[in-house]
Amino acid sequence: MSAATQPGQVREVVMIGSGPVGYTAALCTARAQLNPLLFGRSIFVGGSLTTTIEVENSPASPTVSTAPS
């Protein structure tokens, strides 16, 4: 069983939605050691972040990231 599925485990923060905002919230709360849990609605988590060609203002990268051609 993974840490996310252990019964009785307490989480300080739970995010519902695995798009860019959900990932950013999970990243920020994890950095603050708040033990976040992120729920997505499908097996393809990431929302529009997984289908876009260009990403700006991502917490993971200070520059504009583009998809490979």
- Residue 8: strand, helix, or coil: coil
d(CA 57, CA 43): 25
- Contact in structure between 47 and 18 (CB atoms under 8 Å): yes
Residue 65: band (very low, low, confident or very high) from pLDDT cuts 50, 70, 90: low
On the question of pLDDT at 11 being above 70, the answer is yes
Q: Average pLDDT, stretch 18-27?
A: 80
- pTM, rounded to two decimals: 0.55
| DSSP character string of 9-69 | ---SEEEE--SHHHHHHHHHHHHTT--EEEE-SSSSTTGGGGT-SEE-SBTTBSS-EE---
Residue in this structure with the two tokens 């920020």, named with its chain if needed: 28
pLDDT for the residue 1: 40
